[in-house]
Amino acid sequence: MSRAQISALVCGVGGFGALVAATTSNEWKVTTRASSVITATWVYQGLWMNCAGNALGSFHCRPHFTIFKVEGYIQACRGLMIAAVSLGFFGSIFALFGMKCTKVGGSDKAKAKMACLAGIVFILSGLCSMTGCSLYANKITTEFFDPLFIEQKYELGAALFIGWAGASLCIIGGIIFCFSISDNNKTPRMGYAYNGATSVMSSRTKYHGGEGDFKTTNPSKQFDKNAYV
- The model's confidence at residue 229, banded by pLDDT at 50, 70 and 90, is very low
Between 62-71, 97-106, 126-135, 153-162, the lowest mean confidence (pLDDT) is in 97-106
Which of residues 99 and 26 earns the better pLDDT score?
A: 26
**163 CB neighbour count, 10 Å cutoff:** 30
Q: What does the pLDDT read at residue 3?
A: 78
- Percentage above 70 pLDDT, the chain: 73
Residue 198 pLDDT greater than 70, yes or no? no
Q: What does the pLDDT read at residue 164?
A: 96
Which of residues 143 and 106 earns the better pLDDT score?
A: 143
Between 35-49, 141-155, 181-195, the lowest mean confidence (pLDDT) is in 181-195
Sort residue 228 into left (φ over 0), alpha (ψ -120 to 50) or beta.
alpha
Between 41-45, 99-103, 223-227, the lowest mean confidence (pLDDT) is in 223-227
- The model's confidence at residue 6, banded by pLDDT at 50, 70 and 90, is confident
- The model's confidence at residue 68, banded by pLDDT at 50, 70 and 90, is confident
- The answer to whether residues 126 and 164 touch, using CB atoms and an 8 Å cutoff, is no
Residue 32 pLDDT greater than 60, yes or no? yes
Q: What does the pLDDT read at residue 112?
A: 82
Residue 36 pLDDT greater than 60, yes or no? no
- CA–CA dist 126, 173 (Å, integer): 10
Order the strands of the 41-45 sheet from edge to edge.
59-63, 49-54, 41-45, 29-31, 154-156
CA distances from 174 to 110, 120, 154, 167, 225 (A): 17, 6, 34, 11, 87
Amino acid at 20: V
Residue 146 pLDDT greater than 70, yes or no? yes
Q: Which helix (H) or strand (E) holds 185?
A: helix 158-186
Q: What is the largest CA-CA distance in the chain?
A: 134
